[in-house]
Structure 1
């Protein structure tokens, strides 16, 4: 039986993120202002064909796969990247240094969250990504300088996401503090923390390993959109 994290988006959209799920049988996705990720029950060509019928031309979509994919020709691959899927199988004994006050982030903080993610590029973050919930941040005065939250929730796993720190505030341990907070919160809710990180982001990987995260599998991420003038293949 396949591991739930081999198909994390689909399994999130039919379990922990079900309340944010749109789509039809076999193909589920988030609203465009929440997340670009789409989940397939199976990564079959006919599912890509069904998605083609459902999506507007210019929408960018994210597909996650445990192996390299041959993306059907009616789609254009905008970007492909290799990421490590890391799981914290057990809580660490790492001491928590409460160096800064963590503030729960709400709708009133969305402009600051968008500004921070635009500057730091931790991954897709849109005007309603906050709907995933559990975001917390660190402020310097009125400026949001670091944050992290939750994204995919393929039960019992919960993904820590949008971990980012303003460049002027690096080296203060904010990312570690936010990661520890999120991992503790997930475990308190009987979940298992996991995350995704670019395979070449050695600094972040080292930090995650120091907090007890271990690489479970290398995954392929694809950003796709409808190919210009593409037609639906026969039989799909």
Structure 2
């Protein structure tokens, strides 16, 4: 069943994230304020051509695929990230947290964007919160750590936006928040998974301690329509 995660964006846009999906029958994407992700079935050879016709000049997209690709015609490659995909191992114990994560509603969207800009966990806009189930930890009135859910491809749910303010590292916030998300996802009858840069050895080690295993490589291509 993990073949679903070979193309998680497309699978999400055609299943659990369908309510946020834009595009055509063959090509899907999110509003850029939600996420720059775009996708199409791997066997559809005209995906980028159709995206070019659907999206305005200057629109930035993010395309995820296990195998490397060359920049398609009409698209400027801005940045390439080599990452890995990790899936939670069934049966792993969820340890009790020492902090109580706070649900993050729309009134916190600006603070969430500010924290994401500082820590750079990945693209995060004012509407990213619409993926749902975001929780954070506050120091007095300041949001200092958060995580949430992003893609929902069929029976899988992605843990995303795992970030901690640099002044609050080493306090165990990320561990508590990720385990909290894992518990929520398992309670929903879903399987947790996530993506991380392949050179982020510290994060990979944390996720392995929390019960995730590396499933496959995943290449992320940030591009702009010319």
Structure 1-normalised TM-score?
Answer: 0.92
Report the Cα offset of residue 43 of structure 1. Answer: 5.7
Report the Cα offset of residue 171 of structure 1. Answer: 0.3
Partner of 1:114: 113
Report the Cα offset of residue 95 of structure 1. Answer: 2.5
Partner of 2:26: 26
Contact 1:45-1:72 within 8 A present in 2 as well: no
Partner of 1:48: 48
| Greater Rg by CA | 1
Q: Which moved more, 1:36-45 or 1:148-157?
A: 36-45
Contact 2:29-2:39 within 8 A present in 1 as well: yes
Contact 1:26-1:42 within 8 A present in 2 as well: no
Q: 1:195 to 1:181 in 2, by over 3 A?
A: same
Report the Cα offset of residue 214 of structure 1. Answer: 0.3
Runs of at least 5 residues in structure 1 that lack an aligned partner in the other structure:
228-236
User: For residues 94 and 129 of structure 1, what CA distance do their matches in structure 2 show?
Assistant: 27
Deviations 1:199-232 (A, max 9, x none): 00000000000011000000111011123xxxxx
Contact 2:95-2:179 within 8 A present in 1 as well: no
Q: Does 1:35 align with 2:74?
A: no
Give the length in aligned residue pairs: 226
Partner of 1:218: 217
Partner of 2:65: 65
1:175-194 equivalent positions in 2, closer than 5 A: 175-194=174-193
1:78-89 equivalent positions in 2, closer than 5 A: 78-89=78-89
When the two chains are superposed, the root-mean-square deviation of aligned CA atoms in Å is 1.3
SS of aligned partner of 2:46: helix
Q: 1:218 to 1:132 in 2, by over 3 A?
A: same
Contact 1:136-1:149 within 8 A present in 2 as well: yes
